[in-house]
Amino acid sequence: MTALAFSAPAGTRQSLRQEHRSEYKEGAVNSKLVILGGSSPFTVGLIDAIELAGSSIPGQELVLNGRHSENLALIQQYAAARLVPRGWSVKSTTNRQEALAAARVVIHQVRYGGMEGRAAAARAVSTYGVPVDESLGPAALWSILRIVSELQHMARELRESCPNAWVLNMTNPLSITTAVLAQEGLRCIGLCELPWVTVLHACQFLGLPPREVEWSYAGLNHRGFIYKLSFEGRDCLRDLANAIGQGSFGGITANDIRETNALPLKYFQLFRGGAPTEVGRTEFLSNLRKQLIEELRRSPTASPPSLSQRPVDWYPFSIVPFLAAITASNGRMEVVNVLATDGIAREVRARIFEDSVEPVSSPEPGEAVAHWLDVFVAHEHAVLAATLDPSFEHIKAALVADPLVPERTVASLAEAL
């Protein structure tokens, strides 16, 4: 789900996975886990993460569902080799109703419109001088306007086939798709690894034990702030800013930390004009998908070497921890995107139980963070209004509220969308 590069010391990812795994607790068996979008070759990263989790996610029925039957067969073979010895059964089907029947947990990672849709969104906005990203800004608005009807149809299918299932949403733009699914009556949460991984990287950067630091977080998906980070009473945000010096931490500068009195998520660089672009990203991912499938054809039970070209940290650091948490049902703390009383999906820390998510209270953030959150929340409401009623007025209002969109481009962008 995250595409911007995050600089970290060599070997970080494996050590962090091992640290995270040590927190898992054994628990009861869930009966049926369904992966929608399971024909994506990147799903092998989820299989690897489930295997690594061991007994914290006991054996159950895994059903892969997707559009591409050959891909499904290859990924089913890979999953069976990894998980059947651990007590799992593995099936695949292109029939969604068959897959969803009586599901306990559904991982929703469907890419509506395929890679062609992602490329079309990038082309549609790339000439307007705005950041091109599938999770934020005009490209995200372009995408949600075109997929919302399919998304609502999917929600109805889920409600009919497995009304009590957990729906773990991974589809971008995550906050809006989560709100749409949840407003349809599903027990849906959005999952993103970025807040927790940012804390982990900060702790490793400073040489701190991640499970012993205190931290507070507030925001929307990809637009959040770690506004407290302390260890044994010491303010580690100040230490982090000093350690960064003239460099950056995942694109975040010391000035960003000092000005917000917080550690923003890496996408914050977009809002101060550090605007990476997705030009070439879709082509890269399309070619990588083909390469992964070819590697699975050649060696169906070996982890594809090319997977290392696109780290899929959302699996080991978000999806798998949530699966382990609902299994253990012991109130483990995770970061989740949940539908709030004002109708939008907010990203919060919450305690996780088998059948419930309970957000925890946090101290109020400082003035700078509160200002940014007001901006992001106003924009999110405008995007949701445009999503549910895509009139020209609503689309224009969403662009006006978007801090990534210069005023001079609003009218022409609204016409293009």
pLDDT in tens, 133-162: 889 999 999 999 999 999 999 999 999 999
pLDDT at residue 25, as a whole number: 43
CB 106 within 8 A of CB 168: yes
Predicted local distance difference test score (pLDDT) of residue 146 = 94
Indicate if the pLDDT at residue 28 is higher than 60: no
pLDDT recorded at residue 8: 39
The average pLDDT across 88-117 equals 94
The predicted-structure confidence for 191-223, as pLDDT tens digits, reads as follows 999 999 999 999 999 999 999 999 999 999 999
Q: Dump pLDDT digits (tens) for 236-260.
A: 999 999 999 999 998 999 999 999 9
Using N-to-C axis directions, what is the helix angle for 367-388 and 392-400, rounded to 10°?
160
Cα(55)–Cα(38) distance, integer angstroms: 23
Is 26 in contact with 53 (CB distance < 8 Å)?
no
Say whether pLDDT at 298 is over 70. yes
Q: What is the rounded average pLDDT of the residues 319-331?
A: 97
Predicted confidence (pLDDT) at residue 186 exceeds the cutoff of 90: yes
CA atoms within 13 A on the CB side of 276: 18
Kindly state the greatest CA–CA separation across the chain.
60
- Averaged over 36-57, what is the pLDDT? 97
Contact 347, 335 (CB under 8 A): yes
Q: What's the pLDDT score for residue 281?
A: 79
Handedness of CA 162, 168, 174, 178 (dihedral sign): positive
Judged by average pLDDT, the poorest of 206-220, 272-286, 342-356 is: 272-286
pLDDT confidence of residue 272? 86
Cα 310 to chain center, whole Å? 14
Residues 205 and 257: beta-carbon distance below 8 Å? no
pLDDT digits (tens, 9 = 90+) for 373-405: 999 999 999 999 999 999 999 999 999 999 999
Question: What percentage of residues in the chain have a pLDDT greater than 70?
Answer: 91
| Exposure b/e, 188-211, CB count within 10 A at least 16 = b | bbbbbbbbbbbbbbbbbbeebebe
The answer to whether residues 136 and 220 touch, using CB atoms and an 8 Å cutoff, is no
Question: Comparing C-alpha atoms, which of 281, 386, 236, 299 is closest to residue 77?
Answer: 299
Q: Are strands 234-235 and 214-220 parallel, antiparallel or unpaired?
A: unpaired
- Look at strands 234-235 and 248-249 and give their pairing: unpaired
pLDDT band at 279 (very low <50, low <70, confident <90, very high): low
Query: 278: pLDDT confidence band, cut at 50, 70 and 90?
Result: low
Which pLDDT belongs to residue 26? 45
User: Percent of the chain at pLDDT above 90?
Assistant: 83
Task: Note the pLDDT of residue 1.
Answer: 42
* pLDDT-based confidence at residue 277 (cuts at 50, 70, 90): low
Arithmetic mean of pLDDT over the chain = 91
Q: Give the per-residue SS3 of the chain.
A: CCCCCCCCCCCHHHHHHHHHHCCCCCCCCCCEEEEECCCCCCHHHHHHHHHHHHHHCCCCEEEEECCCHHHHHHHHHHHHHHHHHHCCEEEEECCHHHHHCCCCEEEECCCCCHHHHHHHHHHHHCCCCCCCCCCCHHHHHHHHHHHHHHHHHHHHHHHHHCCCCEEEECCCCHHHHHHHHHHCCCEEEECCCHHHHHHHHHHHHHCCCHHHCEEEEEEECCEEEEEEEEECCEEHHHHHHHHHCCCEECCEEHHHHHHHCCEECCCHHHHCCCCCCCCCHHHHHHHHHHHHHHHHHHCCCCCCHHHHHCCCCHHHHHHHHHHHHHHHCCCEEEEEEEECCCCCEEEEEEEECCCCEEECCCCCCCHHHHHHHHHHHHHHHHHHHHHHCCCHHHHHHHHHCCCCCCHHHHHHHHHHC
Question: Can you tell me the distance from the alpha carbon of 105 to that of 96, in angstroms, rounded to the nearest whole number?
Answer: 14
Residues 110 and 172: beta-carbon distance below 8 Å: no
Please tell me the distance from the alpha carbon of residue 10 to that of residue 99, in angstroms, as a whole number: 40
State the pLDDT confidence band at 276, using cuts at 50, 70 and 90: low
187, β-bridge pairs: 166
Distance from CA of residue 381 to its chain's centroid? 20
